[in-house]
A = this chain, B = another copy of it.
Amino acid sequence: MTRIPRIRLRKPYLILLGDEHDPINAKTGFGIVHWRRADVAGQLRAPGAAVDLGVPDLGIDAAADDGVGSLVVGVAPVGGAVPAAWWDVMVDAARAGLDIVAGLHTKLNDNPALVEVAGAHDVRLVDVRVPPRNLPVGTGKKRTGRRLLTVGTDCAIGKKYTALGIDSAFADAGIDSTFRATGQTGILIAGEGMPIDAVVADFIAGAAEVLSPDNEPGHWDVIEGQGSLFHPAYSGVSLGLLHGSQPDAFVVCHDATRECLSDWEHFALPSITECIALHERVARRTNPAACCVGIAVNTSTLPVRKRSAYLEALAAEHGVPAVDPLIDGCSDIVAYVRKTFG
C-alpha cells in the first residue's frame, strides 16, 4: 500500500526570502515561523526586501557558524518556479554545509550545478513537493474515522492555518486528531504529508485517499485544503482533494476584505453562501452527509471595532461558528463539531 511520505530535516532553519515583497507569496516562510518558531534561526533577505518574518536577519556564513542545519526556501511564487538569481544563494549555502530544502515545482535535484556542489560538500537537497510513486486512482469507498477539510473562497486565504488551528483545538478538547498536510508549508510543519498539487491529474483523489486512511471511529483527520473550487487555475486540485477526502465536515476560509482572487484580479471572490452551497453539493458525491461546520476569516484588514459584529453576522447568517483563527482560535468550531457529530 502507498504510504504518506515522511521527511526528516536538519534543524534549525535559515529561511530564504530573496527579494520577495508580497507577504502572500512568502506564506511558506510565515507558516514555518508561526507554527515552528523554535526551529527557525533566521531569515535571508536581499537588501531592500519588504517581507519580514520577524526573525533575525542572518547571512549564510553566520548561519553556518551558528550551526544552522538547512536553508529552506520560504517563498511560493505563482507557478512554483524558482527565480534564477536564487540558485547562486543556494549553491553558496550548500558550499557552506547547509542542506537545501524547497517545495517548488522546479526540483533542486534537477539543477546540475547545485547537485554537484551538494555532492562535493555532502549536504542534502530535499524536494518536499515530490509525490510518492505508484499512487492508486481513487476508489470512492467509504473509510472509517472522521474527516474535516478546510476549503476556501480563494488560494492563500488561511486553509493551512485554520486546519492547524482546528487540530490544536481538537487536542485541547481531548479529541484524537491528525493534521494532514497537502502543501509544501504544511508538509514542512508536519514532517509528512501529500503534495497534492504535484500529483499527476488522474491520481488527485487517489492521493487524497492515501493521505487520510482508515482510522478509529472517533478520530478526526484535519485535512489542509488547496486552491479553491472557484479558482480558474487550481479548481481541479480542489475538487479531486474534496472527493478523495470524503469529508464529514468542511470549514470555509475567507478574507473579510479581499474582493478579487489573489493574482487573478479579473475574478471576483465568490460569496460565502455560494461557497458553502457548491461545496455541499459536490462533496456529497463521496460523502452524502458532508456539511459546513464553520467559517474561518482573516479579519486583519477590518477595523478592530467592526470585527466582532462582522463575525457575529456571519455566524447568524450561516448557522455555524465564524472565527478569526489567529485571534479567536478554533475552539468554537471544535465545540460545534462535537455537538454535531457527538
Contact = CB atoms under 8 A, between A and B. Distances in A.
A140 interface: yes
Contacts of A137: 78-79, 233-234
B239 A140 contact: no
A262 interface: no
A235 B281 contact: no
A122 interface: no
Interface string A315-339: 0000000000000000000000000
B235 A239 contact: yes
Contacts of A237: 201-202, 204, 236, 240
A272 B79 CA distance: 36
Interface in A162-214: 196-202, 204-206
Interface residues of A, number: 42
Given A232-B205, A233-B139, A237-B236, A200 B105 contact: yes
Contact of A198 (B200, B232, B233, B235): B200
Contacts of A140: 232-233, 264, 266-267
Contacts of A244: 232
A267 B205 CA distance: 15
Contacts of A136: 79
A286 interface: yes
Contact of A229 (B80, B199, B233, B282): B282
How many copies of this protein are present in the complex? 2
A230 interface: yes
A202 B198 contact: yes
A95 interface: no
A302 interface: no
A141 interface: yes
Contact of A232 (B138, B201, B238, B278): B138
A236 B267 contact: no
Given A140-B264, A264-B140, A202 B282 contact: no
A243 interface: yes
A6 interface: no
Contacts of A78: 137
Given A79-B136, A137-B79, A278-B282, A204 B267 contact: no
A286 B80 CA distance: 23
A140 B78 CA distance: 14
Interface string A3-19: 00000000000000000
9 A-B pairs with the lowest CB-CB distances in the bound complex, closest first? A236-B240, A140-B232, A138-B233, A204-B236, A236-B236, A197-B202, A137-B233, A239-B239, A201-B237
